[in-house]
Structure 1
Amino acid sequence: MLVAFLIMLREGLEAALIVGIIASYLQRTGRRGWLPAVWIGIFLAMALALFVGAALLFASAAFPQRQQELFEALVGFLAVGMLSWMVLWMRHTARHLKQHLAAALERSFRSGRHQSWALIGMVLLAVAREGLESIFFLLALFQQSPNPLAPLGALLGLVTAGLVGFGLYRGALRIPLGRFFRFTGLFLLLVAAGLLAGSMRALHEAGLWNHGQQVLFDVSAVLPLDSPLGTLLAGIFGYQPAPTLSEAVVWLGYLALAAWWLRPRSLTASAPPTEPTSKLP
Structure 2
Amino acid sequence: MKKGIILLFALLFFSILPSAQAAPKWEQVAGHVQETMKAALQMYDAGDLEGAKKTVNDAYYGVYEKDGLEKAIRTTVAVKNANLTEYQFYRIKKMMNEGADSAALHAANDVLVGMINDDVKSLEGHASQGGWASFWPAFLILLREGIEAILVLAAIIAYLQKSGNAKYLDAVYNSSIAAIIASFVTAYVFNLLTKEFGAGANQEIMEGITVLVAAAVLLSVSFWMGGKTNAKAWDTYIQGMVKASLSSGKAKALGFAAFLAVYREGAEVVLFYQALFNSAAGDVEMIWMGFLAGCVALAIIFALVRYGTLRIPLRPFFIGTSIFMFVLAISFAGSGIGELQEGGIVSMTLVEGIPIPSIDLLGIYPTYETLAVQVFLLCAAAGTVYYRKYQSKALEKTI
TM-score class, shorter-chain normalisation, is 0.5 to 0.7
The one-letter amino acid paired with 2:152 is: E
For 1:214 and 1:165, the matched residues in 2 are separated by: 40
For 1:238 and 1:38, the matched residues in 2 are separated by: 30
For 2:337 and 2:331, the matched residues in 1 are separated by: 10
* 1:19 aligns to 2:144 (yes or no): no
For 1:235 and 1:144, the matched residues in 2 are separated by: 16
For 1:80 and 1:106, the matched residues in 2 are separated by: 25
2:258: which partner in 1?
Answer: 131
Larger radius of gyration: 2
* 1:263 aligns to 2:393 (yes or no): no
For 1:54 and 1:192, the matched residues in 2 are separated by: 23
The one-letter amino acid paired with 2:257 is: E
What is the aligned counterpart of 1:46 among 167, 171, 176? 176
For 1:138 and 1:259, the matched residues in 2 are separated by: 24
- Structure 1 residue 56, shift from structure 2 partner: 1.5
What is the aligned counterpart of 2:369 among 250, 275, 279? 250
1:89: which partner in 2?
Answer: 221
- Residues matched between the structures, number: 223
* 1:236 aligns to 2:357 (yes or no): no
TM-superposition CA deviations, 1:65-123 (whole Å, max 9, x none): 6423212222122212312330342232352675665666398xxxxxxxxxx9xx996
- Structure 1 residue 132, shift from structure 2 partner: 1.3
TM-score, length of structure 1 as denominator length: 0.56
TM-score, length of structure 2 as denominator length: 0.43
Point out the structure with the larger helix share: 2
Q: Is the 8 A contact 1:5 1:156 kept in 2?
A: no
- Structure 1 residue 20, shift from structure 2 partner: 0.5
Instruction: Provide the aligned C-alpha RMSD in A.
Output: 4.6
Q: Is the 8 A contact 1:189 1:258 kept in 2?
A: yes
2:187: which partner in 1?
Answer: 57
User: CA 1:11 to 1:187, structure 2 compared with 1: closer, same or farther past 3 Å?
Assistant: closer
The one-letter amino acid paired with 1:132 is: F
User: CA 1:92 to 1:48, structure 2 compared with 1: closer, same or farther past 3 Å?
Assistant: same
For 1:88 and 1:150, the matched residues in 2 are separated by: 34
1:71: which partner in 2?
Answer: 203
1:105: which partner in 2?
Answer: 245
For 1:150 and 1:218, the matched residues in 2 are separated by: 39
Q: How does 1:147-186 map to 2 (within 5 A)?
A: 156-157=297-298, 159-169=300-310, 172-173=311-312, 176-177=316-317, 178-179=319-320, 181-182=322-323, 185-186=326-327
For 2:361 and 2:256, the matched residues in 1 are separated by: 23
What secondary structure is seen at the aligned counterpart in 2 of 1:105?
A: coil
Task: Mark the runs of 5 or more structure 2 residues left unpaired by the alignment.
Answer: 1-139, 229-233, 277-286, 391-399
TM-superposition CA deviations, 1:26-79 (whole Å, max 9, x none): xxxxxxxxx7x6565454333222222222122211112642321222212221
- Structure 1 residue 14, shift from structure 2 partner: 2.6
Q: Is the 8 A contact 1:60 1:71 kept in 2?
A: yes
Q: How does 1:188-267 map to 2 (within 5 A)?
A: 189-190=330-331, 192-201=333-342, 203-204=343-344, 209=345, 217=352, 233=358, 235-236=360-361, 248-265=367-384, 267=386
The one-letter amino acid paired with 2:180 is: L
Q: Is the 8 A contact 2:157 2:306 kept in 1?
A: yes
Percent sequence identity is 9
- Structure 1 residue 12, shift from structure 2 partner: 1.7
Q: Is the 8 A contact 1:79 1:137 kept in 2?
A: yes
